[in-house]
């Protein structure tokens, strides 16, 4: 048996993340907020976790209440907020072990230097430290403090001790501090904390133990040092699929063409630019993959040769010889076990998707109708048709994350039958 409590398997060893229609329904995060000026960012984190369907039970230290009111967290989470060990009005205060048992993840954000020292020493002099000592759930810590405090040998020793016990850390990062200076110690981005927490909550999902490769974005084929041939893909669908697979327990590799989107936390992102670079990256990532989901818009043609100098404007028509790019799906034919392609079509949507399904030996094609100057690109919603060898199933217009989960439902079923 592992030596430290935070390395133990928590109470719920398995669950179906689709049982209640919300992937994180019935998951509980105990959020510990300590006396750092970054405490106000914990409110945003609590809100986003709640929106994701997670039950959030907040514990505020006395110092934290000097910076942000408990009522803020109660309003955002809809749940009681614990502060005092012996607050008889809170169902979790006297029996503090109930919070430790309720947690699927104990998230301490922000964590001060004082809190790190108390955790490392196993102190239990307030509700948060008691809960940390009693829980067997994973502990995720987001430090926030002045650079000198973070870099002090005592703090670094405490962090090393906590890591050895199984605690995970996000941040701190370098940047502007509340003191006005710059350096390490800044609270990590809420997006990163959200992603890391959801990944921990999904560690026993229906893709646990699976490796999923996802492509996203639109490739760019250079014309000269300034210009390129590209397309309108934003990468939002591929990124949504990568995050959804992560939240269901998969180890995810996201191979992304240029995109303005933030790298998803707890996902391995590989950046590429051209179709040939994407082909090589996908081929390398498939060595131990269970599923490939090709959401990227890969160029079909590229300039025969990129100019070394900028092409100057003239009055004469510009003729650009084009050559066919490598077909990523063709290169990966036969691997991995499940292969999903996307088809953006301006006409004959279902017929063209069926043709692609057969010609590329795919298990599923996600067909997307395009039209007009912008089509469906760079939006947060999608309206697609799932085409397999038996039927074409239209999905309603919905958030891309919802579409991503429906696609992954199919992937899970295909992996189960493979």
Beta bridge partners of 111: 143
Q: Which of 231, 308, 352, 368 is catalytic?
A: 231
Residue 147's φ and ψ, nearest 5 degrees, are: -55, -45
8 A C-beta contact, residue 385 and residue 353:
yes
Residues 64, 33 contacting (CB under 8 angstroms) = yes
Q: What would the two tokens of residue 324 be? A: 């066919």
Alpha-helix residue ranges (DSSP H) falling in 215-348: 236-247, 275-285, 328-331
The neighbouring-strand residues paired with 154 are: none
Beta strands, E only, 83-193: 105-111, 139-143, 168-169, 173-176, 182-186
Reduced DSSP (H G I as helix, E B as strand, rest coil) percent helix, strand, coil of the chain, to 5? 35, 20, 45
Q: What span, in angstroms and rounded, lies between the C-alpha atoms of 223 and 80?
A: 59
Contact 34, 128 (CB under 8 A): yes
Q: Is 231 a catalytic residue?
A: yes
At 270, list the tokens: 């590989």
Q: Which residues are catalytic?
A: 231
């Amino acid at each position: 048996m592992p030596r430290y409590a935070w390395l133990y398997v928590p109470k719920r060893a398995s669950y179906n993340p689709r049982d209640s229609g919300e992937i994180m329904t019935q998951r509980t995060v105990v959020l510990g907020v300590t006396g750092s000026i970054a405490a106000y960012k914990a409110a945003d984190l609590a809100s986003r976790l709640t929106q994701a369907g997670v039950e959030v039970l907040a514990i505020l230290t006395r110092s934290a209440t000097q910076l942000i009111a408990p009522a803020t967290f109660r309003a955002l989470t809809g749940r009681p907020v614990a502060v005092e060990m012996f607050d008889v009005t809170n169902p979790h205060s006297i029996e503090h072990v109930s919070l430790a048992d309720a947690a699927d993840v104990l998230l301490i954000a922000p964590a001060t230097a004082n809190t790190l020292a108390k955790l490392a020493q196993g102190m239990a002099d307030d509700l948060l430290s008691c809960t940390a000592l009693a829980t067997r759930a994973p502990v995720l810590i987001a430090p926030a403090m002045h650079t000198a405090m973070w870099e002090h040998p005592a703090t670094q020793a405490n962090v090393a001790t906590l890591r050895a016990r199984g605690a995970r850390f996000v941040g701190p990062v370098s940047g502007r501090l509340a003191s006005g200076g710059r350096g390490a110690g800044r609270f990590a981005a809420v997006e990163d904390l959200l992603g890391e927490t959801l990944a921990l909550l999904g560690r026993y999902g229906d893709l646990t133990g699976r490796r999923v490769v996802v492509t996203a974005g639109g490739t760019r084929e250079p014309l000269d040092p300034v210009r390129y041939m590209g397309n309108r893909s934003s990468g939002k669908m591929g990124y949504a699929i990568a995050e959804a697979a992560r939240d269901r327990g998969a180890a995810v590799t996201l191979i992304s063409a240029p995109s303005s989107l933030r790298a998803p936390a707890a996902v391995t992102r590989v950046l590429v630019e051209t179709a040939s670079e994407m082909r090589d990256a996908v081929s390398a990532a498939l060595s131990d993959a269970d599923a490939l989901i090709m959401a990227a818009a890969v160029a079909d043609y590229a300039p025969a040769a990129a100019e070394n100098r900028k092409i100057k404007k003239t009055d004469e028509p510009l003729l650009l010889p084009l050559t066919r790019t490598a077909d990523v799906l063709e290169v990966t034919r036969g691997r991995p076990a499940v292969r999903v392609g996307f088809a953006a079509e301006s006409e004959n949507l279902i017929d063209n998707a069926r043709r692609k399904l057969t010609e590329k030996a795919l298990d599923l094609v996600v067909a997307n109708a395009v039209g007009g100057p912008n089509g469906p690109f760079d939006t947060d919603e999608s309206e697609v048709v799932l085409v397999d060898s038996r039927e074409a199933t239209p999905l309603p217009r919905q958030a891309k994350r919802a579409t991503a989960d429906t696609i992954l439902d199919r992937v899970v079923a295909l992996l189960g039958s493979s």
